Structure 1
Amino acid sequence: MRHRLVVVRAWAGRVAVLVAAVMIAVTFAWAPGVGQDESGPLFAAATALVALQAAAFRWAPRREAAPGIGLAAVALVLWPQPFVPDASLYERVGMGAFWFLPTLGAAVVGGYPRLMEHRRRRAVREARHSQQLALAHDLHDFVAHDISGIVAQAQAARFVAGQNPDAVVGALERIERAGLAALASIDRTVHLLREPGREADRAPLPGAAGLTELVGRFDETGRTRARIDIAPGVESALSREAAATVHRVVTEALTNVRRHAPDATGVEVALVPEDGAVRLTVTNDTGVSRPRARESGGTGLRALTERVRALGGTLRTSAEDGTWCLTVTLPTPRPALRPASLAASGDPA
């Protein structure tokens, strides 16, 4: 069907080439022997040629349109020349310029709608690509986190199964909760794929309020102990987008601890005010074993860095003395909170 559509649209450029070639041949073979009063057929052909140019600008594929439009423009410029044999060079140039104007008009009439359609299609493609990236980030940030928890629990259950069978029951319960959370994330993503224009109708992504639960689940699903410290009032100071970004960053950081530092003894998450902004830090030791090699990866933090920058914040990572630290600073949309040190000392803001 698509091939047929291309063939049908190509007729404008091909017919324009044919008519222009015939018109040029007739102009130089027939026009010199007739008077200006008999130029009606060529004028009618020129009018039809302008219409064909507009059609070629609008529908013809570029390879078909270019030769047709170009040859038609030449025909329009040359056809009146034989009827004024006594014209000077300047007059002939003026006539050529005048009869080139219809080609410009055809470009506006036919080319402008084509340009608008091209821009619309490009906007649709960019919107789809942006949506695909958002869905990919959702899968990476949330589903991968839950699946990594399932893997950690399964490994722990296999390790203690022979020594303490009762502990396996608790691990299975945690695996079930993580699996249900992963299924919920996949279900939300599938709904977005089916109805891409109704993202606003879906339940919002977890924000800063879910950090305590997130860290608590991580603490239950492995040997790495996790602790969180959230200063009073910080959660309400963050915008909805910033809170969702904080949740994503913590999720990615905890997932990376499982992947790259499985022997880490502890993770500390802190969310505190700092000079008109909110600072998030996730700190963990790197453990004693080397991280498992991966064929690909590392896209999570890069995507989150761009997301944080879009909100006017910064994301930095640092490694020092066997410790890995991720720091995110996000501006607050309301009056700056007092740093925790000042609030504790009772100094005025």
Structure 2
Amino acid sequence: MRDISDARGTRGTRDARDARGIPTPLRAWSGRATAFAAALLLTATFVWAPDTAPDDSGPLFAAATALAVLQAAAFRWAPCREAAVGTGLAAVAQVLWAQPLVPAASLYERVGMGAFWLLPTLGAAVVGGYPRLMARREARAVREARHRQQRELAHDLHDFVAHDISGIVAQAQAARFVAGQDPDAAAGALERIERAGLAALASLDRTVHLLREPGPDAARTALPGTARLTELVDRFDAEGRTRARLTFTPAAKAALSREAAATIQRVVTEALTNVRRHAPDAAGVEVALTHEHGTLRLTVTNDTGRTRPRTRENGGTGLLALTQRVHALNGTLHTTGDNSTWRLTATLPAPLPSPLPTPLPAPGAPA
């Protein structure tokens, strides 16, 4: 029974505050108290004020001042409906409370008087409403950032983990066919399955790391370079019958920024995964990265093999997501193919880094 009561007590404490940490009773009573005080001021305005001299209007003035404070609290914390009712009644009370004190005033004077006493309501709206607006904008920005992280996580899982899992499936299929005839070959396939599984776990670790607070070397972990690309192609070459080769020029390596390197690795991962899915008996894959006229060009070319490409009931979204990512970097991505060859081409703007200027000799130093 203690556990249940403790759990209920914890839940009650948590429910007593909203998502912004504001106590729920304060949110509710700020609007209701404003409406109640406005009703009292309106009642005093029409019942007591007509028989009151202007010199004796101190209590009404104090009530109007306190009502302005309640309005600010309602603008800041009350639910929208209660805030509208409470602050609306308070605005009417603020405009009317001084009218009976000046019975001989003209219409223009009454309009000016009402406009003047509407200023406390406008001030309360600024004092209470502006922080509320900023809090809502902050909450919306947090939600949008979470949604972006979720989309990035989904892309990472598709681009990296799906590649390793497809390798596991391919090796398992190969082991199933040769297990009865060649146990040694099956043992080798099991070793490759183990390596692919460890690679998938490492990819999951890197993906989860992207959601954590960045550390000193988070950029290097999240944004791979040519070493990761070489490892990716070598692992694909070792895990299946399809041979894979990577070539890149020194200029391409020099112009490869961290953002471009991450995007290129995603593109190559998706291309190799599609080869394994749709052309499992392809003879070879050529991955080439070049740099010409300030543009990085990636081409992934493979033959379609002898069997008919595999199809799925629901088309994948990998290439579509990658196309959007490449376009976000002002690049292009397209595919071409015929009966025997399939090619994926991606281009990214990547000017070569400017060489560091030669330092000037210190005064008095030999030239």
Identify which of 170, 182, 198 aligns with 2:214: 198
Separation in structure 1 between the aligned mates of residue 165 and residue 352 of structure 2, nearest angstrom: 37
Q: Which amino acid aligns with 1:55?
A: A
Is 2:316 the partner of 1:297?
yes
2:234 aligned partner, one-letter code? G
Distance 1:190 1:175 in 2: 22
After superposition, residues 316-335 of structure 1 pair within 5 angstroms as 316-321=334-339, 323-334=341-352
> Does the 8 Å CA contact 2:304/2:339 hold for their aligned counterparts?
no
Q: Which runs of 5+ in 2 are unaligned?
A: 1-12, 17-22, 355-367
Cα deviation digits, residues 157-190 of structure 1 (max 9, x gap): 1112223322222212221211111111222334
Q: Check 1:62–1:2 CA distance in 2 against 1; reply closer, same or farther (3 A cut).
A: farther
* 1:60 and 2:39 correspond: no
Give the distance between the partners of 1:80 and 1:335, measured in 2 at CA: 73
Alignment of 1:76-225 (within 5 A): 76-193=94-211, 196-198=212-214, 200-202=216-218, 203-204=220-221, 205-225=223-243
* In 2: Cα distance, 1:3 partner to 1:14 partner: 20
In the TM superposition, residue 247 of structure 1 has moved relative to its aligned partner by 1.1
Question: What SS does the aligned partner of 1:333 have?
Answer: coil
**Cα distance between partner residues in 1 of 2:282 and 2:91:** 74
- In 1: Cα distance, 2:313 partner to 2:322 partner: 20
Taking a change above 3 Å as real, the CA distance of residues 224 and 162 of structure 1, as seen in their structure-2 partners, is same
Q: Percent identity?
A: 70
Gaps of 5+ in 1: 337-349
Task: State the distance in 1 between where 2:280 and 2:26 align.
Answer: 62
Q: Pairwise CA RMSD of aligned residues?
A: 2.2
2:268 corresponds to which of 235, 242, 250? 250
Partner of 2:9: none
SS state at 1:10 partner: helix
- Distance in 1 between the 2:227 and 2:251 partners? 11
Q: Separation in 2 of the partners of 1:318 and 1:73? A: 68
**Contact 1:267 / 1:284 at 8 angstroms: preserved in 2?**
yes
Q: Is the 8 A contact 2:251 2:352 kept in 1?
A: no
Residue pair 2:34, 2:67 contacting (<8 A) in 1 also? yes
Instruction: Give 2:56's aligned residue.
Output: 38
Q: What amino acid does structure 1 have at the position aligned with 2:225?
A: G
In the TM superposition, residue 276 of structure 1 has moved relative to its aligned partner by 1.5
Q: Distance in 1 between matches of 2:233 and 2:93?
A: 76
How many equivalent residue pairs? 333
Distance 1:99 1:286 in 2: 81
Q: Is the contact between residue 263 and residue 289 of structure 1 (CA under 8 Å) also seen in structure 2?
A: no
Shift of 1:22: 1.6
* Alpha-carbon distance in 1 for matches of 2:36, 2:156: 56
* Cα deviation digits, residues 190-248 of structure 1 (max 9, x gap): 4455xx22255435243223323322221232233323332333112111111121111
The residue type paired with residue 53 of structure 2 is G
Q: TM-score normalised to the size of structure 1?
A: 0.87
